[in-house]
């Protein structure tokens, strides 16, 4: 009897010692993970946020090697990835769920795709959850709030790239006749309808004045498309006007931007 009791105590001690090295939600095991916010509930859906470089890059005043707006003829000419964001149905979102240092080596095999489809469009260094400045991709917190659906850095970035390539918004708009132009204005309803017909969901469209800044495609946790929460406010004063533009961007070297589809290569 004493022998059995000793064995049970030993097993209990082993379980407790192992659990001390695991984060409380079981997402990323390791000493470099720290829970930052225990009060945030699990997210409801994903929003894939895509930005139009023709709108964003018009504000470029300074160039650096990491700023894709300064690549001249190689400046992005299709929607690029802003991020894959876990969101709540009430319009809010979780943030800074874990502190885990970004390790670029973990995504070294993805760098070609990251540079092309998920480039930085500025020279600044974004702030990090734990203070100070971080890398552009590290700013995405590499999926720290995406648990339990996405559990590590590599999975976060490869999942985002795959969703982007599968839901090619630039190609959808191109096929519907919506191309980059500094003179044309397009009906917002027509752009939304083109995306609805392609993916059977309603996107969220964000503008800067009359220019499309971002388009967001939303997904359930199993990555099936769904309507975005913000799509219900598409015609509100906080969103876009009835007619919008997809502006061209003239890079600092003077070469005009020409719409090029990712499928052209």
Closest residue by Cα to residue 167 from 103, 213, 89, 224: 224
Find the catalytic residue in 104, 139, 140, 200: 140
Q: For every residue of the chain, which 3-state class applies, written as one string?
A: CHHHHHHHHHHHHHHHHHHCCCCCCCCCCCCCEEECCCCCCCCCEEEEEEECHHHHHHHCCCCCCCCHHHCHHHCCCCCEEEEEEEECCCCCCCCCCEEECCCHHHHHHHHHHHHHHCCCCCCCCCECCCCCECCCCHHHHHHCCCCCCCCCHHHHHHHHHHHHHHCCHHHHHHHCCCCCCCCCCEEHHHHHHHHHHHHCCCCEEEEECCEEEEEEEEECCCCCEECCHHHHHCCCCCCCCCEEECCCCCCCCCCCCCCCCHHHC
Distance, in Å, from the CA atom of 185 to the CA atom of 131, rounded to the nearest integer, reads 42
Catalytic residue among 24, 42, 62, 82: 82
Q: How far apart are alpha carbons 206 and 187 in whole angstroms?
A: 14
200 among known catalytic residues: no
Asked about 167 being catalytic, the answer comes back as no
Q: Tokens for 103, please give them.
A: 């390790």
Active site residue 62: no
List 62, 142, 167, 184, catalytic entry: 142
Residue numbers annotated as active site:
82, 140, 142
């Amino acid at each position: 009897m004493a022998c059995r009791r000793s064995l049970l105590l030993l097993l209990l001690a082993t379980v407790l010692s192992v659990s001390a090295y695991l984060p409380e939600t079981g997402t990323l095991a390791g000493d470099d993970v720290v829970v930052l916010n225990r009060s945030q509930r699990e997210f409801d859906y994903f929003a894939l946020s895509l930005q139009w470089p023709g709108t964003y890059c018009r504000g470029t005043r300074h160039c650096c090697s990491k700023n894709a707006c300064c690549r001249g003829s190689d400046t992005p000419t299709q929607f690029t990835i802003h991020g894959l964001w876990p969101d709540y149905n009430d319009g809010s979102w979780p943030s800074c769920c874990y502190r885990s240092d970004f390790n670029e080596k973990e995504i070294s095999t993805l760098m070609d795709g990251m540079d092309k489809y998920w480039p930085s469009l500025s020279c600044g260094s974004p702030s990090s959850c734990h203070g100070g400045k971080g890398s552009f991709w590290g700013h995405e917190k590499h999926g720290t709030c995406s648990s339990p659906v996405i559990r590590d850095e590599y999975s976060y970035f490869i999942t985002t790239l795959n969703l982007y390539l599968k839901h090619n918004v630039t190609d959808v708009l191109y096929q519907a006749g919506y191309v980059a132009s500094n003179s044309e204005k397009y009906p917002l309803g027509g752009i939304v309808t083109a995306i609805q017909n392609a993916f059977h969901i309603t996107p969220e469209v964000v503008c800067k004045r009359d220019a499309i800044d971002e388009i967001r495609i939303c997904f359930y946790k199993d990555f099936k498309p769904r309507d975005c929460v913000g799509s219900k406010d598409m015609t509100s004063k906080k969103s876009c006007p009835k007619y919008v533009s997809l502006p061209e961007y003239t890079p600092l070297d003077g070469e005009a931007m020409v719409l090029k589809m990712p499928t052209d290569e």
